[in-house]
Amino acid sequence: MAIDVVIPALGESITEATVGEWLKKPGEAVNADEPIVSLETDKVAVEVPAPSAGVLSEQLAAVGDTVNVGAVIARLEAGKGAAPAKAAAKSAEPAPAKAAAPAPSGAKQSPAVTVALAETGVDAASVQGTGKDGRLTKGDVRSAATAPAAAASAPAAGTRQEERVRMTRLRQTIARRLKEAQNTAAMLTTFNDVDMTAVMEARDRYKDMFEKKHGVRLGFMSFFTKACCLALKDVPSVNAAIEGDEIVYRNYADIGVAVSSPGGLVVPILRNADALSFAETEKAIGDFGRRARDGQLKIDELQGGTFTISNGGVFGSLLSTPILNPPQSGVLGMHRIEERPVVRDGQIVVRPMMYLALSYDHRLIDGREAVTFLVRVKEALEDPTRLVLDL
């Protein structure tokens, strides 16, 4: 009996996706709930599982095709597949250990591996997988891309080559939304700097106790998140959005935290960040970062948001003008901490300084409000007691 494999709902407002990779070939057996195809949406990669055990009989779309939610993407012949994994494990006899073999073509790969292969141009069949059952890991792909063998096969000096690589759906979406932000908003950036001495001292003083109690390291992002939440209360227009001819003000703060993924920059959302503790904030941000690297963020975690924080400092950026994430009206850019001479009480001293940049929609936010917001953030970071006393 033939069973249709249907593309499931992919999230609010997402109606289509691109076929990224087939994880199973026609004629191969699949277990119930085993992923058979990876799809690229506007935000993340999603794997579509088999609805039941069987044999993949048809692939109804090719890699690179655009497919709609609810469409039939493949068909299975039921009753001919492998036994469920648990049952198979019970009846299986122990087998002698074997050396890891190269990952076979068509073997299941994570979305992160799929993106890494596309970015590096590495042939999956040429890489020896070190994961379970010889499957590829992202590290395998990166190692293969930088291996001496790759250098040995490089073209001779003086030759000129070009390579064309299809943009992932995520990269296309990032490019489109950034351009839309420039075309739609009246973007302007205001700068300030902050003396990080107090935050660094507080972090150094309490980091061991914090990690012992909460099981997570105390970083700078929780300080900045808290400082932004306080500033958003004082300057609500930075937390607002334009919808048609109306301004929507919010009494909550859903903070987007820009993190890197193999396919580009993504912005998972800290819901109700104003109500989170330092520990809850650090745990959530750390979890976002890990799952972004592995391509495991969920679509609903990337939707919404009222304000964004982008930390270019982790890559060494000294100064930048971040671009808005529509329909948000503000984004704060953090940068690297650098010791610089400053004047304190008439004396030149060396302090760890960071430049802050607030890009904002000038249609909604006046210059005075933008400056006030940055000053509030600066005050809270230079005197972290304000974060506890809600000042």
Hey, which residues are catalytic here?
Answer: 362, 366
CA dihedral 2, 38, 283, 174 (to 10 degrees): -140
CA–CA dist 138, 120 (Å, integer)? 11
Which stretches within the chain are classed as H helix?
85-91, 111-120, 138-146, 148-152, 169-184, 197-214, 221-234, 278-293, 367-382, 385-389
Both tokens of 368, joined, read 């005075």
Distances (CA, A) of 308 to 73, 238, 341, 379: 36, 11, 30, 19
Instruction: Indicate the angle between helix axes 197-214 and 367-382, nearest 10 degrees.
Output: 60
Strand partners, 169: none
Contact indicator for 81, 56 with CB cutoff of 8 Å: no
Least Cα distance to 336 among 320, 358, 359, 360 occurs for: 320
